[in-house]
Amino acid sequence: MNILLDLDGTLTDPRVGIVESLKFALSRLGEPCPPDDDLARFIGPPLQLTLGAILGHGSPKIGLAIDLYRQRFSEKGIFENNVYPDMPAALDALAALGAALIVATSKPEAFAERIIEHFGLGKRIHAIYGSELDGTRSDKTELISHVLKAQRISPNSTTMIGDRSHDMIGAKAHGVFGVGALWGYGSREELLTAGASALCEGPALICSVLSSNNRLEDGAIVPALRASARAPQSGR
């Protein structure tokens, strides 16, 4: 079993670092800054799309905004971030079941590697894949294709866990089973509309959700993480 894991909004909560870095870039450009909650809704999609949505797609300021964002993010924002509770235990449980854990993020690979190592998750992760700084492979469909080829793994034995529509769209495009992470920044409606095959309420429920959907080869559920995988009745 191969499990692709999104980073922002799935493994870690990067709200402070991303929001503050967006505010820094917009302020330096003399642009009005939306409220923090509005900026947080942009967590997940590629940075170019986020800034395009804020500044206007095709704006000549997008390139400079990206540079300004990365100026602050690479120095400070990258570590204004937290691993979600229960996530390390969930990763350990999956690894114990023989799953190969692979990070697949639209964030630049160089940043993803720093984050994974900073939070001590590296020993649990088989490989890390992200975009290039020029935006290559920032599209999740393109990225998942790259991961499948690079790792020589079958879509049938692969699951994608992520919190935004891009994760589910990319998974569906390649026949990968997509699990929507409801603890992140995408809503239930967003994830289901994008083609999520299952939803998960929290990291501690990942093994249960995978098992109930026959995504664990031996059907095992780690006792410490055993819990009902029933979908909640209300949206986020």
Does residue 6 carry a catalytic annotation?
yes
What is the rounded CA–CA span in Å between residue 152 and residue 160? 16
Catalytic residue among 6, 13, 163, 167: 6
DSSP string covering 97-126: TTPEEEEEEEEEHHHHHHHHHHTT-GGG-S
For 60-82, how does the pLDDT look when each residue is reduced to its tens digit (9 = 90+)? 999 999 999 999 999 999 999 99
Q: Which domains does the chain have, with CATH numbers?
A: 2-13+82-225 (3.40.50.1000), 15-79 (1.10.150.240)
What is the rounded CA–CA span in Å between residue 145 and residue 155? 10
- Averaged pLDDT, 88-93: 97
Please report which confidence band the pLDDT of residue 17 belongs to, taking 50, 70 and 90 as the band edges: very high
- Averaged pLDDT, 168-196: 98
- 47, 13 contact by CB (below 8 A): no
For 108-155, how does the pLDDT look when each residue is reduced to its tens digit (9 = 90+)? 999 999 999 999 999 999 999 999 999 899 999 999 999 999 999 999
What is the rounded CA–CA span in Å between residue 111 and residue 47? 13
Query: Structure pTM?
Result: 0.89
